[in-house]
Structure 1
Amino acid sequence: MIFKCNNFALKWGGMDIELAKTFLEIMSVGTFNEAAERLNVTQTTVTARVRALEKALGKQLFIRNRAGAKLTQDGERFAGYALSLVQTWEQAKQQLNLPAQQRQSIRIGAEQSLWNPLMVDWINTIQSNTDNIHIQSEVADVEKLIVSLEQNQLDAILVHRPNYYSGFVVEQLVEEKLIHVQVPNQPKPDLFIDWGSEFKRHFDATLPQKRQAAMTFNLGPLALKVMLKNGGNGYFRTRVVAHYLAQGLLEKVTGAPEFSYPIYLLYRKGTRSDCCLQTLDYLRASISLSEHWQV
């Protein structure tokens, strides 16, 4: 197979993919030596691969100096094609290695605070409606998810802070809130949970004296478990604390402000497979049917 990109063309074979991977690694780390270490090959091998790639393309891709390796103008033009080539190859390998009964795949991601119950409900809904979709899921920080979506390594992601990149569709799924709750008769110590930069900005503007908490967390579920066992107060997601409020294990702090904490679905613009469209519909259905996400 020939991979064509305007004036560039590469054969699609094992070594050719390695050439593209080597090119991307050098571009990422900035030196031939570091690229060799990360690829677990010698610097001589890296140099030989670059020469072979430049010979095949008829273009110089890097300028080497004491500071490292810098892309030429042709190297910058080739970068996007190299990334597409490697991604297409990896996707093809993944697709061909799927079990016989699973001929479609979907790659979905969510930030840490959304895997339970939203990601769990989504996956369960897919599995309860079809058995021929292979699910690849990833839980990571927002920045990593955005990069993976941009690079076509994920099909859709769930985040609290959207990125309005022109190539993305941004769809608000749920309007959740962060509310101030406490353990009855044991409201201390103060717990501060880092729900992101936007929450901290609104929190500081509203309750500047409360930021110096006795305990600080960057993971809500951990903070909640500690508070339920030892007492305290803090801001938590409405749907997470709803049943604790109903059971009397927690109570709302009277007069405390509430903060909006919406959830967004992001996916790339353009043509999407029937499998992807179906999977997104399953997500919307899981939200509409689950008691966790009813407003």
Structure 2
Amino acid sequence: MQIELVDTFLDLVETRSFNRTADRMGVTQSTVSARVKALEQALGAQLFARSRAGTDLTTEGLRFEGHARMLRQEWTAARRAMTPAGDAALSLRLGIQNDLAAAALGSLVAAFRQALPQTAFYIEPDYSTQMCSDLQSGSLDFAVMFTPKAHPDLHFTSVGEITYRLISSDARTRAEINPETMIFAHFSPAFERSHRMLLPELSQAPLSVGQSTAVSALLLAMGGSGYVMQDAAAALIATGRFRHVTDAPLITQPIYAAMHLKNRTARLHRRLVQLVTRHFA
């Protein structure tokens, strides 16, 4: 079976539109129709029902969906297994939340390599949504992220949390903070909700940033106030230019290990979860 038939089926499951799938895949609508027809002939079943209201999966299409996702994932894994990795016996593709990369990537990879010396690693800092998509498709084997995206093919495990502290170059208390120089942090949806709930008077700042390293860089360049990771806060305070905002609450961000559902009991993935949990504990 040609893998593009499966890819076309899965895209149609998402878009429920032959036109939109054709646009997204860069092919004509007739090509999409031909691929669906070829897949249906190979399976001996009708997968989609088309009407004026749109395109819906048939009962047979619903049954095939899970198998199609597994086929896509296995195909990606098989292609990657054929990619040369030097003398390594195994190659793993790992994703890590952008905001964790600067602080945790070095020590995590060192622990991974010590525990798995015959493994080659490809590391990709990214955002949670993209990592979830890559885990579904098989482009990633394992990820460390802030925001799990519920999906029947994915498994998430809580591995710890990190803490953010509010610092400022010109204020010691919340009442002294100038909202115009506040940098609003939206490191994740959960963090943003906590920020807005705990400090509503500082949630309408004119500058909003999604990474702790970016907040630190902006504070160094312009001054002002903002939440950064505790280690980054200590480093900035050590410069003598910043101080803790004494009455501002700490905000914690949960961290999750993520993988394809089929790997949740695999020995290798359990070992990776143990190493990540140990790091953030």
From 252, 266, 269, the equivalent of 1:272 is 266
Question: If the length of structure 2 is used for normalisation, what is the TM-score?
Answer: 0.81
Segment of structure 1 superposing worse, 88-97 or 102-111: 102-111
* Displacement after TM superposition at 1:83 (Å): 1.6
1:156 equivalent in structure 2: 142
Q: Kindly tell me: are residues 86 and 204 of structure 1, through their superposed partners in 2, closer, same or farther at Cα, counting changes over 3 Å? A: closer
Task: Give the length in aligned residue pairs.
Answer: 272
Distance (Å, rounded) in 1 between the aligned partners of 2:148 and 2:44: 41
State the structure with more CA Rg.
1
The amino acid that maps onto 2:126 is: A
1:110 equivalent in structure 2: 96
The amino acid that maps onto 1:229 is: A
Q: Kindly tell me: are residues 94 and 273 of structure 1, through their superposed partners in 2, closer, same or farther at Cα, counting changes over 3 Å? A: farther
Q: Kindly tell me: are residues 161 and 20 of structure 1, through their superposed partners in 2, closer, same or farther at Cα, counting changes over 3 Å? A: closer
1:69 equivalent in structure 2: 55
Distance (Å, rounded) in 2 between the aligned partners of 1:198 and 1:43: 40
* 1:222 is aligned to 2:214: yes
From 152, 159, 171, the equivalent of 1:172 is 159
Q: Tell me if structure 2 keeps the 8 A contact 1:36–1:42.
A: yes
* 1:210 is aligned to 2:202: yes
Distance (Å, rounded) in 1 between the aligned partners of 2:4 and 2:136: 22
Q: Kindly tell me: are residues 200 and 86 of structure 1, through their superposed partners in 2, closer, same or farther at Cα, counting changes over 3 Å? A: closer
* 1:243 is aligned to 2:235: yes
Q: CA RMSD in A?
A: 3.1
Distance (Å, rounded) in 2 between the aligned partners of 1:57 and 1:262: 43
* 1:35 is aligned to 2:21: yes
Alignment of 1:119-158 (within 5 A): 119-127=105-113, 132-150=118-136, 152-158=138-144
Distance (Å, rounded) in 2 between the aligned partners of 1:210 and 1:48: 55
Distance (Å, rounded) in 2 between the aligned partners of 1:148 and 1:270: 16
From 19, 24, 35, the equivalent of 2:10 is 24
Q: Tell me if structure 2 keeps the 8 A contact 1:106–1:279.
A: no
* 1:49 is aligned to 2:54: no
Segment of structure 1 superposing worse, 51-60 or 130-139: 130-139
Q: Secondary structure at the match of 1:105?
A: strand
Segment of structure 1 superposing worse, 18-27 or 138-147: 138-147
The amino acid that maps onto 1:260 is: T
Q: Secondary structure at the match of 2:36?
A: helix
Q: Secondary structure at the match of 2:120?
A: strand
Q: Secondary structure at the match of 1:244?
A: helix
Segment of structure 1 superposing worse, 203-212 or 219-228: 203-212
Distance (Å, rounded) in 2 between the aligned partners of 1:184 and 1:76: 59
Q: Kindly tell me: are residues 116 and 37 of structure 1, through their superposed partners in 2, closer, same or farther at Cα, counting changes over 3 Å? A: same
The amino acid that maps onto 1:113 is: D
Distance (Å, rounded) in 1 between the aligned partners of 2:234 and 2:142: 28
Identity %: 28
* 1:84 is aligned to 2:70: yes
Q: Tell me if structure 1 keeps the 8 A contact 2:237–2:243.
A: yes
From 239, 245, 257, the equivalent of 1:253 is 245
* Displacement after TM superposition at 1:282 (Å): 4.5
Distance (Å, rounded) in 2 between the aligned partners of 1:93 and 1:133: 17
Question: If the length of structure 1 is used for normalisation, what is the TM-score?
Answer: 0.77
User: What stretches of structure 1 of length at least 5 have no aligned partner?
Assistant: 1-12, 288-292
